[in-house]
Amino acid sequence: MTGAEPAERPRTPYRRLVHEVAETVALPHTYTLLIWATTMVTIERHGLPDLLAVFCMLFGACAGYIGIGRIAHRRHGASAAVRRRAIAHPYLVACGNITTLAVATLACAATALIPAVHLAWLLVGFVGTAIYLLGIAVQAHVVARFVPTAP
């Protein structure tokens, strides 16, 4: 090979790329679906949110994430999850998402019945996020228990 020839690019099989993309977006995609579903059930009850209601939902979702994460962090220890792959098969975990989404959406539909609009939006964000995190953890636990990991 001379200096003028371009280096050959590594070739990754297309199916492997599709698999990697599906695994990478599996869990965030579920959370996106959860936000869509919980927003729709809350809009059905309270109408379109005003700016304060939007921030209430954002605050509730962040509080749910921080609360569940903090509890898990204290019980699991201080080791950072980003240094290890905590979920061995994210795509398989995501295959059970319909159950988590259904439970979270039903819980948020019930939460949306709260007459105080801004409190309802706040709690919908919190409840939806908390159920999502706990549900995904249950799904990951089931997969980890029944699906062997490669050595």
Report the C-alpha gap between 14 and 1 in whole angstroms: 27
- Ranges of the chain whose pLDDT falls below 70: 1-10, 76-88, 91, 149-151
* Domain definitions of the chain by residue range: 21-146
What are 83-99's pLDDT values in tens digits? 455 566 776 777 778 88
Query: Hunting for tokens 């090979």 — which residue is that?
Result: 1
Q: For residue range 108-125, what is the model confidence (pLDDT) as tens digits?
A: 999 999 999 999 999 999
